[in-house]
Amino acid sequence: MPLTDTAIRTAKPAEKPYKLADEKGLFLLLNPNGSKWWRLKFRVDGKEKLLSLGTYPEIGLKKAREERDKARTMLAEGIDPSQHRKAAKATRELLAANSFEVICREWLEYKRSNIEEAQYKKALARLEKDVFPWMGKRPITDITAPEVLAVLRRIDERGARYTAHKAKSEISQCFRYAIATGRAERDPCPDLKGAIPAPKTENLPSITEPAHVGELLRAIDGFQGTFVVKCALEIAPRVFTRPGELRKAEWASFDLDKAEWRYFVTKTKTEHLVPLASQVVAALRELHALTGHGRYVFPGRDPQKPMSDAAVNAALRRMGYDTKTEITGHGFRAMARTILHEELHQKPEVIEHQLAHQVSDALGTAYNRTKFLKERKAMMQLWADYLDKLKAGAEVIPLHGSAA
């Protein structure tokens, strides 16, 4: 006799599991703990099998019968419903493993060791906010150029055009990673060239007027913050490396007797050499007494970590400088590039080499760490001496024949 909803609701558990039979192999298994499981008994090649159809009351009698009938239809077509379910589950797991979000997170972890931690966190936050909610669960092989464009336009339409371009770059890099690891065949992003207008570029603020540079150096000289941050402020203009390279500098990379600093530039994937002016060597020897026992030249509050990436900019603001319109830690590079060329008449290729830029091959000066070394050593000392004169308030008249 077929089951009824009333019979199922009123059925009580017993000391041992027992069955309430319906029709065509369907039954309800009642367990001593009160749980009620739908089961379907069937045969394939003469072997008896059971298929779970869920629990009651989540799956009611009507739904259980519908699932039974679907399974019996498969059996009539020569398909084992239990094997079909396993195959469907495996397909879902494969699609999940090849979803854009899974592959993108894998790519970010792969990339993490070669970029700044702050850069990693910003990229992850951008993807979690603007990309994953819309296409994260999609199989990466199914994602089309119009689908990516819809995501980018959603970002652009809220006025975040720069973010849209960053997201496009990161999506493209993820696709290229998927191609390299055999999980995609092409990157749809090149199809979107020009679809989102280019953002207006804004150079990071910098001070390039010699008189104002002198004022800044005097302000640094009077800085009342920690000795470590003050040393960073004093050294930064005289080495004009990227801010992250300076704050993460390790004592092991310095040879103060040779007046050299060698380190690996993550951005260009090259080893860089910074000749140190005598003023920088003196400052570093003084700082060594305080931090030389540790790994980092400029440690943070936790001596096992470098100082914060915000420390130099925070110090500049404390000195009264607007880091949005006047000067940032990165601005020391533009300061050096501009004044070394326009006021001290140094050769552009020598300056660019010292900035660790990939100089155009058309000049025959593609970067290597020792090229122009003699000229760069002279230039770095000339630059440090020039800054000292600006700080002292002297009128500096550059010699036009002093190009290195």
Q: Is 272 a catalytic residue?
A: no
Catalytic residue among 168, 248, 330, 353: 330
Question: Between the CA of residue 266 and those of 8, 111, 116, 171, 175, what are the distances in Å?
Answer: 67, 11, 9, 21, 22
Q: Is 84 a catalytic residue?
A: no
Q: Is 111 a catalytic residue?
A: no
Do residues 390 and 213 make contact, with C-beta atoms less than 8 angstroms apart? yes
Tokens of 238: 């005289």
Contacts of 275 (CB under 8 A, 6+ apart): 259, 260, 373, 376, 377, 380, 381
Catalytic residue among 49, 165, 267, 295: 267
Q: Is 369 a catalytic residue?
A: no
CA distance 310 to 54: 55
Catalytic residue among 84, 317, 357, 369: 357
Tokens of 215: 């004022």
Catalytic residue among 238, 247, 272, 333: 333
Q: Minimal CA–CA distance to 383: which of 284, 283, 235?
A: 235
Q: Is 288 a catalytic residue?
A: no
CA distance 312 to 237: 12
Handedness of CA 321, 323, 327, 333 (dihedral sign): positive
Q: Is 357 a catalytic residue?
A: yes
Catalytic residue among 65, 242, 272, 376: 242
Catalytic residue among 18, 120, 162, 367: 367
Question: Between the CA of residue 261 and those of 115, 133, 252, 254, what are the distances in Å?
Answer: 20, 45, 9, 5
Tokens of 268: 């260009």
Residues serving a catalytic function are: 242, 267, 330, 333, 357, 367
